[in-house]
Structures are given as C-alpha cells and as structure tokens.
Amino acid sequence: MRIVFLGTPDFAVPTLKALVESKHEVLAVVTQPDKKRDRNVISFSPVKEEALKHNLEVLQYEKIKVEGIEDLKRLNPDVMVTCAYGQIISQEILDIPKFGVINVHASLLPKYRGSSPIQWAIINGESQTGITIMKTALGVDSGDIILQKKIDIKENETAGELFDRLSQIGPEALLEALDLIEQGKAVFTPQDESKATHVSMLKKEDGHIDWSKKAIEIKNQVYGMNPWPSAFSYFNKKLFKIWTCDIEPMKLDYPNGYMFIKDKKVFVKCSDGAIELKEVQIEGKKRMTSQAFILGNEIEGVILE
C-alpha cells in the first residue's frame, strides 16, 4: 500500500524503518517542525533524521490541519500511519486516505488514552501494557481497535526500558494490521468507553516525591519517571534525584522523609515503611550509588523535602 507516515520522537523511528523495509511504499514523512537549540543550532526530530537516511520526502507543519491538507491530497495515500506525531488531525485529513488513518499507540486501549501512557502504566503499578493499533477518530485515542499486543512489565523496569521494548513491538503489530486491512480481513472493534482512562503529558513537577505516600507508590514513581522527568526531592535545599530504589518493610517512628543509614545502606522513611535508595544524584554531581553518596555527605537525620 501507499503510505504517508506521521511521527516525531525516538519511539516512532523503528516503525518508520519497518515500513521502509516492508513491501509497502512510503510516499512521505510528516513530522514536527525543527527546533532551535542553544546558539541557534537547528535540531531535527528523530523521525526526520531517519527519513532523510532513506531519501524520503519530509513535510513539516506548525498546524497540519491548516497547512497540510493540499500536500496530503496530492500524495493520495492508501493509508496514513501515525505514531506519536504530536498534533491533532482534522476530519478532512482523516477522510483523505482510502483506508483512513491508523495509529500506533503505546497502551492497551481504552486504558491510558493521551500522552505519556508508558510512564503512567508504571507509575500506576500496572503489571501489563502493550501496543494498540487503532483506526484514528476525532476523539483522543478513541477509534476502533484493530489489534493489540500485550507484554508484561518487568520488575524494576524503568519507563525508558519499557519505551524501548514497546518501540520494537509497534512495527510488528502495525505490519500485521496493514496486512489485515489490505486483505479485507481487519475487524474494527469499538472501544468500551466505560473503561476509558485519560493521562496527561508529564511535567517536571510530577517527579516531586511526596514521602507521606506508601512505599510502592514512591517506587513506582521513581521507575515511571526514569529517565524523564526523574523522581526527585530536596536534600538540604539541593535538588536530589532518585534513579533507582527498593522497598524495605519496617516499622519506624521517624517523620516521613527522614533519611537514615542501616547496614551501610541509605533509607528514607515513608508512610508504611522505608525506601532503600540505590542510585541517586545530588545537584551539580553525576549519578552515583547511595554508598558513594554516603562518603561525601552527612545523611543521618536529614529530612528530604
């Protein structure tokens, strides 16, 4: 089939690459506009960089539903594929391809519609997640489901690690769905709206740890926020990031956020026990083990804020 691909971040790159290497024809790639970094250096999206490697036509719009209609009509694709593109698509654009617009979404819809579904699955303590291939509709991630691929979330798996695993499953699921569509065998199953949940885009402040929460909630936050925006507290007014940790059940009379050392390990009191800090980073320093952090800092009795 003749395909126009829409995507922007690293997550979408394996899917674009798989399409290029498949029997299908990629007519063009649509991605978010280039960004200016420090000293006016222009930064391309990861998808644009991949597209240029294959000499594909690259289209970029501030507002695709205003600027992109004529280009997309000119290309006349059989189907358009979106994968973390980052803009809302209008009904006029949805109507252009013969087979509509197909989306690669990193959750098991209808759960976790919206932004950051990978991170929120870990933050909320899910045991499973996956990829959903759906036909795009006007509502956010509300279209009919074509197929899903499920995977288990591993113990102590970071959002970054899960992101990488799901980005490799997306291409396989998409190519299978395209075959079904091309053969007229695709079944489009409406989502159960009663089970729909919506998640927002993560902000830096979402990483701030509330030590009055339960240990499992804090641990999930640490791994769900790794690598961005990272879970953090303040150690003597300095930004203190926690990259990895574990749960230590114990009864303590300390206030929440109280740091202490036991058996050469660093712990922080929370509502139902303690969190053992594994890998941390104090403002202005590199990531280090908690044992290395002990060597240069007075820890016992500090209350993280």
pLDDT digits (tens, 9 = 90+) for 39-61: 778 899 999 999 999 999 999 99
Q: Is 40 exposed, middle or buried (0-12, 13-18, 19+ CB in 10 A)?
A: exposed
pLDDT given for residue 40 in this prediction: 78
pLDDT given for residue 166 in this prediction: 97
pLDDT given for residue 36 in this prediction: 82
Contact 119, 166 (CB under 8 A): no
DSSP 8-class letter at 39: G
The closest alpha carbon to 175, from 28, 30, 24, belongs to 24
pLDDT given for residue 115 in this prediction: 87
Contact 3, 177 (CB under 8 A): no
**C-alpha to C-alpha distance for 243 and 223, rounded to whole angstroms:** 7
pLDDT given for residue 296 in this prediction: 83
pLDDT given for residue 304 in this prediction: 97
Residue written as tokens 């065998």?
Answer: 185
pLDDT given for residue 39 in this prediction: 72
Q: Which amino acid, 280?
A: V
pLDDT given for residue 157 in this prediction: 98
Those residues of the chain that have pLDDT short of 50 are none
Token digits of residue 242: 């926690």
Contact 13, 163 (CB under 8 A): no
> Model-level pTM?
0.94
